[in-house]
Amino acid sequence: MLPAFLLPLLALTNITASPLAAHSIAAPTWYAGWHATGGFPLSSVSWDKYNTLYYSFAETTQSVNSLSLSGSDGEMLPQFVSEAHAHGVEAHIAVGGWSGGTVVDFALQYKLDGIQFDWESPNDQGIGCNTISVHDTANFLAFLQELRQNPVAAKLTLSAASRLGRTAGMPVDKIVLGVASYGHSFSVPPCDAFVSDTKTLAAYPTFNASNQPLGDAWDNTGSVDVCGVYEGSGGTFNFWGLIDNGFLTKEGKPADGIHYRYDTCSQTPYVYNRTSQVMISFDNVQSFAAKGKYIKDTKLRGFSMWEAGGDYNDMLLDSIIDAFKCA
Protein backbone atom coordinates (compact mmCIF):
# COMPACT_ATOMS: atom_id res chain seq x y z
CA MET A 1 0.00 0.00 0.00
CA LEU A 2 1.50 3.34 -1.01
CA PRO A 3 1.56 6.05 1.59
CA ALA A 4 0.04 9.21 0.19
CA PHE A 5 2.91 11.18 1.60
CA LEU A 6 3.76 14.70 0.65
CA LEU A 7 6.16 16.00 3.17
CA PRO A 8 7.97 13.69 5.54
CA LEU A 9 9.47 15.48 8.49
CA LEU A 10 12.91 14.47 9.52
CA ALA A 11 14.10 14.95 13.03
CA LEU A 12 17.80 14.28 12.75
CA THR A 13 19.96 12.33 10.39
CA ASN A 14 23.63 11.46 10.37
CA ILE A 15 25.07 11.80 6.94
CA THR A 16 27.83 9.37 6.19
CA ALA A 17 27.40 8.06 2.68
CA SER A 18 28.79 9.50 -0.52
CA PRO A 19 27.81 11.23 -2.82
CA LEU A 20 25.18 12.68 -0.53
CA ALA A 21 27.78 13.51 2.09
CA ALA A 22 29.49 15.95 -0.23
CA HIS A 23 26.29 17.93 -0.50
CA SER A 24 25.06 17.50 3.08
CA ILE A 25 21.66 16.32 1.98
CA ALA A 26 19.53 13.70 3.65
CA ALA A 27 17.87 11.14 1.40
CA PRO A 28 15.95 8.71 3.58
CA THR A 29 14.03 6.44 1.25
CA TRP A 30 11.56 3.60 1.66
CA TYR A 31 12.48 0.01 0.87
CA ALA A 32 9.30 -2.04 0.44
CA GLY A 33 10.04 -5.46 1.94
CA TRP A 34 7.37 -7.21 -0.11
CA HIS A 35 9.01 -6.14 -3.37
CA ALA A 36 12.19 -8.08 -2.56
CA THR A 37 10.63 -11.11 -4.20
CA GLY A 38 9.00 -8.99 -6.91
CA GLY A 39 12.17 -7.89 -8.65
CA PHE A 40 13.87 -5.58 -6.16
CA PRO A 41 16.01 -7.73 -3.82
CA LEU A 42 18.49 -6.17 -1.39
CA SER A 43 21.25 -6.86 -3.93
CA SER A 44 19.62 -4.30 -6.25
CA VAL A 45 19.86 -1.42 -3.76
CA SER A 46 22.32 1.36 -4.66
CA TRP A 47 23.48 1.67 -1.07
CA ASP A 48 26.02 4.42 -1.81
CA LYS A 49 23.25 6.77 -2.95
CA TYR A 50 21.31 6.75 0.31
CA ASN A 51 22.18 7.65 3.87
CA THR A 52 19.04 6.15 5.41
CA LEU A 53 16.65 3.46 4.24
CA TYR A 54 13.26 2.78 5.80
CA TYR A 55 12.23 -0.88 5.84
CA SER A 56 8.49 -0.81 5.15
CA PHE A 57 6.30 -1.68 7.00
CA ALA A 58 5.90 -2.95 10.51
CA GLU A 59 2.22 -2.83 11.30
CA THR A 60 0.42 -2.34 14.57
CA THR A 61 -1.56 -5.25 15.97
CA GLN A 62 -4.37 -5.67 18.48
CA SER A 63 -1.70 -5.95 21.18
CA VAL A 64 0.23 -2.87 22.28
CA ASN A 65 3.14 -5.21 23.01
CA SER A 66 3.74 -6.48 19.54
CA LEU A 67 3.73 -5.49 15.93
CA SER A 68 3.70 -7.45 12.75
CA LEU A 69 6.08 -7.71 9.83
CA SER A 70 3.98 -10.37 8.17
CA GLY A 71 3.00 -8.26 5.17
CA SER A 72 6.55 -7.23 4.37
CA ASP A 73 8.79 -10.30 4.16
CA GLY A 74 9.94 -9.49 7.69
CA GLU A 75 12.38 -12.41 7.86
CA MET A 76 14.61 -10.24 5.68
CA LEU A 77 14.83 -7.37 8.16
CA PRO A 78 18.00 -8.62 9.96
CA GLN A 79 19.80 -8.94 6.62
CA PHE A 80 18.53 -5.51 5.59
CA VAL A 81 19.99 -3.99 8.77
CA SER A 82 23.36 -5.70 8.45
CA GLU A 83 23.75 -4.84 4.77
CA ALA A 84 22.78 -1.23 5.43
CA HIS A 85 25.31 -0.98 8.27
CA ALA A 86 28.01 -2.60 6.14
CA HIS A 87 27.46 0.23 3.64
CA GLY A 88 27.39 2.99 6.26
CA VAL A 89 23.65 3.48 5.76
CA GLU A 90 21.24 3.93 8.65
CA ALA A 91 18.53 1.28 8.85
CA HIS A 92 15.15 2.44 10.10
CA ILE A 93 11.78 0.75 10.35
CA ALA A 94 8.69 2.44 9.00
CA VAL A 95 5.72 1.84 11.25
CA GLY A 96 2.46 3.20 12.55
CA GLY A 97 2.04 4.39 16.12
CA TRP A 98 2.09 1.95 18.95
CA SER A 99 3.33 1.80 22.54
CA GLY A 100 6.67 3.39 23.39
CA GLY A 101 8.08 0.30 25.10
CA THR A 102 7.37 -1.79 22.06
CA VAL A 103 9.17 0.69 19.82
CA VAL A 104 12.28 0.58 21.95
CA ASP A 105 12.30 -3.22 22.24
CA PHE A 106 11.85 -3.56 18.52
CA ALA A 107 14.68 -1.12 17.76
CA LEU A 108 17.01 -2.99 20.11
CA GLN A 109 16.05 -6.40 18.77
CA TYR A 110 16.84 -5.45 15.17
CA LYS A 111 19.74 -3.03 15.88
CA LEU A 112 17.83 -0.24 14.17
CA ASP A 113 19.10 3.33 13.94
CA GLY A 114 15.73 5.00 13.72
CA ILE A 115 11.98 4.79 13.48
CA GLN A 116 9.84 6.35 10.80
CA PHE A 117 6.22 6.89 11.75
CA ASP A 118 3.96 6.45 8.80
CA TRP A 119 0.80 7.74 10.39
CA GLU A 120 -0.11 10.30 7.79
CA SER A 121 -3.69 10.99 8.65
CA PRO A 122 -4.27 11.72 12.34
CA ASN A 123 -7.99 12.32 12.89
CA ASP A 124 -8.70 11.22 9.35
CA GLN A 125 -10.54 8.05 8.45
CA GLY A 126 -7.89 6.80 6.03
CA ILE A 127 -8.64 3.27 4.87
CA GLY A 128 -12.17 3.33 6.25
CA CYS A 129 -12.32 1.48 9.58
CA ASN A 130 -9.78 3.30 11.73
CA THR A 131 -10.70 4.65 15.14
CA ILE A 132 -10.09 8.37 15.02
CA SER A 133 -10.15 11.21 17.50
CA VAL A 134 -9.85 14.99 17.44
CA HIS A 135 -7.01 14.44 19.92
CA ASP A 136 -4.99 12.28 17.47
CA THR A 137 -2.42 14.94 16.64
CA ALA A 138 -1.88 16.05 20.24
CA ASN A 139 -1.65 12.41 21.33
CA PHE A 140 0.84 11.67 18.57
CA LEU A 141 3.04 14.53 19.79
CA ALA A 142 2.70 13.37 23.40
CA PHE A 143 3.70 9.88 22.30
CA LEU A 144 6.81 11.16 20.50
CA GLN A 145 7.79 13.30 23.49
CA GLU A 146 7.38 10.34 25.84
CA LEU A 147 9.34 8.12 23.48
CA ARG A 148 12.23 10.62 23.45
CA GLN A 149 12.42 10.38 27.25
CA ASN A 150 13.46 6.75 26.92
CA PRO A 151 17.30 6.50 27.01
CA VAL A 152 17.36 4.08 24.06
CA ALA A 153 14.93 6.08 21.98
CA ALA A 154 16.82 9.27 22.76
CA LYS A 155 19.57 7.99 20.46
CA LEU A 156 17.25 6.95 17.64
CA THR A 157 16.49 9.08 14.63
CA LEU A 158 12.77 9.72 14.67
CA SER A 159 10.89 10.90 11.61
CA ALA A 160 7.32 11.10 10.44
CA ALA A 161 5.67 11.08 7.04
CA SER A 162 3.15 13.86 7.02
CA ARG A 163 0.81 15.66 4.72
CA LEU A 164 1.62 19.06 3.39
CA GLY A 165 0.21 21.69 5.72
CA ARG A 166 0.89 25.26 6.79
CA THR A 167 2.94 24.72 9.26
CA ALA A 168 3.45 23.58 12.28
CA GLY A 169 6.62 25.34 13.35
CA MET A 170 8.94 22.67 11.96
CA PRO A 171 12.34 24.19 11.08
CA VAL A 172 13.08 24.06 7.36
CA ASP A 173 16.30 22.15 7.91
CA LYS A 174 14.39 19.30 9.53
CA ILE A 175 12.05 18.82 6.60
CA VAL A 176 12.75 16.53 3.69
CA LEU A 177 10.59 16.70 0.57
CA GLY A 178 8.64 13.57 -0.28
CA VAL A 179 9.23 12.54 -3.90
CA ALA A 180 7.60 9.75 -5.88
CA SER A 181 9.24 7.24 -8.20
CA TYR A 182 5.80 6.33 -9.50
CA GLY A 183 2.97 7.81 -11.49
CA HIS A 184 -0.79 7.42 -11.51
CA SER A 185 -3.05 6.42 -14.40
CA PHE A 186 -6.31 8.00 -15.56
CA SER A 187 -8.85 7.05 -18.19
CA VAL A 188 -9.25 10.02 -20.54
CA PRO A 189 -11.13 9.90 -23.88
CA PRO A 190 -9.30 11.56 -26.81
CA CYS A 191 -11.91 14.35 -27.04
CA ASP A 192 -10.82 15.50 -23.56
CA ALA A 193 -7.15 14.56 -23.80
CA PHE A 194 -6.22 17.04 -26.53
CA VAL A 195 -6.56 20.76 -27.04
CA SER A 196 -9.28 20.95 -29.77
CA ASP A 197 -8.06 19.99 -33.24
CA THR A 198 -4.45 19.66 -32.18
CA LYS A 199 -2.05 16.97 -31.07
CA THR A 200 -1.20 18.96 -27.96
CA LEU A 201 -2.27 17.37 -24.71
CA ALA A 202 -4.73 19.47 -22.74
CA ALA A 203 -3.91 20.71 -19.26
CA TYR A 204 -5.82 19.02 -16.43
CA PRO A 205 -8.40 17.15 -18.56
CA THR A 206 -11.40 15.51 -16.94
CA PHE A 207 -11.13 11.75 -16.51
CA ASN A 208 -13.45 8.83 -15.89
CA ALA A 209 -13.02 8.07 -12.21
CA SER A 210 -15.07 4.87 -12.41
CA ASN A 211 -12.67 3.35 -14.92
CA GLN A 212 -9.29 3.13 -13.18
CA PRO A 213 -6.68 1.72 -15.59
CA LEU A 214 -4.56 -1.04 -14.09
CA GLY A 215 -0.97 -0.06 -13.35
CA ASP A 216 2.25 -2.03 -13.81
CA ALA A 217 3.22 -5.52 -12.63
CA TRP A 218 3.38 -4.30 -8.99
CA ASP A 219 -0.18 -2.99 -9.06
CA ASN A 220 -2.98 -5.19 -7.79
CA THR A 221 -6.04 -5.99 -9.83
CA GLY A 222 -8.26 -5.29 -6.85
CA SER A 223 -8.82 -6.95 -3.49
CA VAL A 224 -10.74 -6.71 -0.24
CA ASP A 225 -8.96 -4.43 2.24
CA VAL A 226 -8.56 -4.93 6.01
CA CYS A 227 -11.88 -3.17 6.53
CA GLY A 228 -13.64 -5.74 4.34
CA VAL A 229 -14.24 -3.26 1.52
CA TYR A 230 -13.39 -4.09 -2.07
CA GLU A 231 -10.78 -1.77 -3.52
CA GLY A 232 -10.02 -1.71 -7.23
CA SER A 233 -6.57 -1.43 -8.74
CA GLY A 234 -4.39 1.45 -7.64
CA GLY A 235 -3.40 2.55 -11.13
CA THR A 236 0.21 2.91 -10.05
CA PHE A 237 3.00 2.85 -12.60
CA ASN A 238 6.51 2.85 -11.18
CA PHE A 239 9.10 4.65 -13.29
CA TRP A 240 10.41 1.28 -14.50
CA GLY A 241 6.79 0.28 -15.14
CA LEU A 242 6.32 3.17 -17.57
CA ILE A 243 9.28 1.80 -19.52
CA ASP A 244 8.05 -1.80 -19.15
CA ASN A 245 4.64 -0.86 -20.53
CA GLY A 246 5.87 1.05 -23.54
CA PHE A 247 5.11 4.60 -22.44
CA LEU A 248 8.76 5.58 -22.11
CA THR A 249 11.97 4.42 -23.78
CA LYS A 250 14.83 3.01 -21.70
CA GLU A 251 16.26 6.55 -21.77
CA GLY A 252 13.12 7.78 -20.03
CA LYS A 253 11.86 9.68 -23.10
CA PRO A 254 8.32 9.35 -24.50
CA ALA A 255 8.11 6.31 -26.78
CA ASP A 256 7.03 6.56 -30.43
CA GLY A 257 3.28 6.98 -30.66
CA ILE A 258 2.99 8.25 -27.07
CA HIS A 259 1.85 11.82 -26.51
CA TYR A 260 3.76 13.82 -23.93
CA ARG A 261 3.46 17.13 -22.15
CA TYR A 262 5.52 18.69 -19.38
CA ASP A 263 3.28 20.86 -17.26
CA THR A 264 5.24 23.96 -16.36
CA CYS A 265 3.00 24.83 -13.41
CA SER A 266 3.35 21.57 -11.43
CA GLN A 267 6.69 20.89 -13.17
CA THR A 268 5.71 17.30 -13.84
CA PRO A 269 5.19 15.36 -17.07
CA TYR A 270 2.33 13.25 -18.32
CA VAL A 271 1.99 10.75 -21.14
CA TYR A 272 -1.00 9.55 -23.13
CA ASN A 273 -1.75 6.50 -25.25
CA ARG A 274 -4.61 7.48 -27.54
CA THR A 275 -5.50 3.87 -28.36
CA SER A 276 -5.85 2.66 -24.79
CA GLN A 277 -7.01 6.12 -23.61
CA VAL A 278 -4.63 5.84 -20.67
CA MET A 279 -3.03 9.03 -19.36
CA ILE A 280 -0.31 8.86 -16.71
CA SER A 281 0.91 11.69 -14.56
CA PHE A 282 4.37 10.88 -13.21
CA ASP A 283 7.85 12.17 -12.39
CA ASN A 284 10.85 11.96 -14.67
CA VAL A 285 14.47 13.09 -14.75
CA GLN A 286 13.44 16.68 -15.55
CA SER A 287 10.90 16.94 -12.75
CA PHE A 288 13.29 15.31 -10.24
CA ALA A 289 15.92 17.87 -11.22
CA ALA A 290 13.35 20.63 -10.58
CA LYS A 291 12.58 19.15 -7.17
CA GLY A 292 16.27 18.94 -6.34
CA LYS A 293 16.70 22.59 -7.25
CA TYR A 294 13.69 23.50 -5.11
CA ILE A 295 15.17 21.67 -2.12
CA LYS A 296 18.48 23.43 -2.65
CA ASP A 297 16.92 26.88 -3.12
CA THR A 298 14.63 26.57 -0.10
CA LYS A 299 17.34 24.96 2.06
CA LEU A 300 15.24 21.93 2.96
CA ARG A 301 17.14 19.04 4.54
CA GLY A 302 16.83 16.74 1.53
CA PHE A 303 14.38 14.37 -0.06
CA SER A 304 12.64 11.12 0.73
CA MET A 305 11.55 8.82 -2.09
CA TRP A 306 8.78 6.26 -2.19
CA GLU A 307 10.21 3.84 -3.13
CA ALA A 308 13.79 2.81 -3.88
CA GLY A 309 12.55 -0.02 -6.10
CA GLY A 310 10.46 2.25 -8.33
CA ASP A 311 13.39 3.84 -10.12
CA TYR A 312 15.01 2.59 -13.34
CA ASN A 313 18.82 2.43 -13.42
CA ASP A 314 18.89 5.16 -10.72
CA MET A 315 17.83 7.74 -13.31
CA LEU A 316 15.54 9.65 -10.93
CA LEU A 317 17.87 9.30 -7.96
CA ASP A 318 20.91 10.50 -9.91
CA SER A 319 18.93 13.42 -11.30
CA ILE A 320 17.81 14.75 -7.94
CA ILE A 321 21.26 14.27 -6.39
CA ASP A 322 22.91 16.01 -9.36
CA ALA A 323 20.81 19.08 -8.63
CA PHE A 324 22.95 19.65 -5.53
CA LYS A 325 26.21 19.83 -7.45
CA CYS A 326 27.74 23.25 -7.55
CA ALA A 327 26.89 25.16 -10.69
What gap in Å lies between CA 236 and CA 183, rounded to an integer?
6
Q: How far is the CB of 273 from ligand NAG (least distance, A)?
A: 4
Interface residues with ligand NAG (CB under 6 A) are 208, 210-211, 246, 255, 257-258, 273, 275-276
Q: How far is the CB of 256 from ligand NAG (least distance, A)?
A: 6
DSSP 174-191: GBEEEEESEEEEEE--HH
Pick between residue 101 and residue 189 the one whose CB is nearest to ligand NAG. Answer: 189
Which residues does 229 contact at the CB level (< 8 Å), separation at least 6? Answer: 128
Pick between residue 88 and residue 246 the one whose CB is nearest to ligand NAG. Answer: 246
Q: How far is the CB of 189 from ligand NAG (least distance, A)?
A: 6
Which residues does 282 contact at the CB level (< 8 Å), separation at least 6? Answer: 180, 182, 183, 184, 237, 239, 242, 268, 269, 270, 271
Pick between residue 101 and residue 190 the one whose CB is nearest to ligand NAG. Answer: 190
| Side chain identity, residue 164 | L
Q: How far is the CB of 208 from ligand NAG (least distance, A)?
A: 4
* Among 234, 265, 247, 224, CA closest to 312: 247
Pick between residue 76 and residue 280 the one whose CB is nearest to ligand NAG. Answer: 280
- E-strand ranges in the chain read 9-10, 29-32, 52-60, 67-68, 90-95, 114-117, 157-160, 176-180, 182-187, 222-224, 230-232, 236-238, 259-263, 268-273, 278-281, 302-306
Residues facing residue 9 across a β-bridge: 160, 175
Q: How far is the CB of 248 from ligand NAG (least distance, A)?
A: 10
Q: How far is the CB of 209 from ligand NAG (least distance, A)?
A: 8
Pick between residue 190 and residue 257 the one whose CB is nearest to ligand NAG. Answer: 257
Pick between residue 273 and residue 287 the one whose CB is nearest to ligand NAG. Answer: 273
